[in-house]
Amino acid sequence: MAVGIFDSGLGGLTVLDAVHERLPDLPLVYLGDNAHAPYGVRDADDVYDLTTKAVDRLFQAGCDLVILACNTASAAALRRMQESWVPADKRVLGVFVPLIEALTERQWGDNSPPREVAVKHVALFATPATVSSRAFQRELAFRAIGVDVEAQACGGVVDAIEEGDMILAEALVRSHVDALSRKMPEPEAAILGCTHYPLMQDTFQDALGPNVAVYSQANLVAESLADYLIRHPKMVGPGEVSKFLTTGDPKRVSSRATQFLRRQITFEAA
């Protein structure tokens, strides 16, 4: 009855923690492709190839449903996977939809034409690959009109977080917020478009100011998954044991993950 959670590195652990808190009895298999992280600087074909290999490993581990807790994979690979690669009895879901549902206050099942929403100026902070894909803007356009999205590629932030250098990560976040502010001085909302970024949410909020609503993914994805499983209970796979898998060095990744979540995490080789 396991559900898979995939990320290029450790960022997806923020989603795993939120899902575990929301669905404590659900076995979760986490796979971090740490050997090839970060994805945010790779081209779309490379991201697609790496993502399909990782998701196939999660299928083998007894997961019929996999969450791409990686915005770069969701942006660069998900649509292509769903159209031509995912088996009929499996499902792969991304992390943009729950954000857009929250931002536009519309349910994804609402297929009425796009309409105006309350928020008009949105800042998107994401990896270079996610920004260049324009996937967030494309998905948002299905639901809303008249929303100005200014995207800021946050180079270096993921690397700093993965290395545990939070001082550097904070400095980079403030630099990227400053760059965004020069292009959009008064955003009403900010999207943290990478699952690493919730660890820096307080820094983003402080740099943006108290009047900007900051949307982070972990809890939104957890709520969306809970709702999805109510509607599609058969998509919970046959796996029964929670585990953490990595393509990198399990000892090193376990150490980083333990720092990341501030609790003991033990990875094994994928």
- pLDDT tens-digit readout, 189-219: 999 999 889 889 999 999 999 999 999 889 8
pLDDT at 133 over 70: yes
Q: What are the residue boundaries of the structural domains of the chain, listed by start?
A: 2-94+218-269, 97-215
Question: What is the value of pTM for the model shown?
Answer: 0.89
Instruction: Grade residue 186 by pLDDT with cuts at 50, 70 and 90.
Output: very high
Any idea which fold 97-215 has? Rossmann fold (3.40.50)
Instruction: Grade residue 23 by pLDDT with cuts at 50, 70 and 90.
Output: very high
pLDDT at 96: 85
pLDDT at 79: 93
Known binder of ligand: residue 8? yes
Cα-based distances in Å from 63 to 26, 42, 179, 202: 11, 26, 41, 34
Known binder of ligand: residue 215? no
Known binder of ligand: residue 121? no
Instruction: Tell me the pLDDT tens digit for each residue of 220-237.
Output: 999 999 999 999 998 988
Say if 2-94+218-269 and 97-215 have the same CATH topology. yes
Known binder of ligand: residue 7? yes
pLDDT at 109 over 70: no
Instruction: Tell me the pLDDT tens digit for each residue of 59-100.
Output: 999 999 999 999 999 999 999 999 999 999 999 999 988 888
Burial class of residue 24, CB neighbours in 10 A (0-12, 13-18, 19+) = exposed
Please give the average per-residue pLDDT across 146-172, as a whole number: 94
pLDDT at 99: 87
Known binder of ligand: residue 219? no
Mean pLDDT, the chain, rounded, equals: 93
Known binder of ligand: residue 266? no
Instruction: Grade residue 108 by pLDDT with cuts at 50, 70 and 90.
Output: low
Domain 2-94+218-269 in CATH 3.40.50.1860? The answer is yes
Known binder of ligand: residue 110? no
So which residues are the catalytic ones?
A: 70, 194
pLDDT at 260: 83
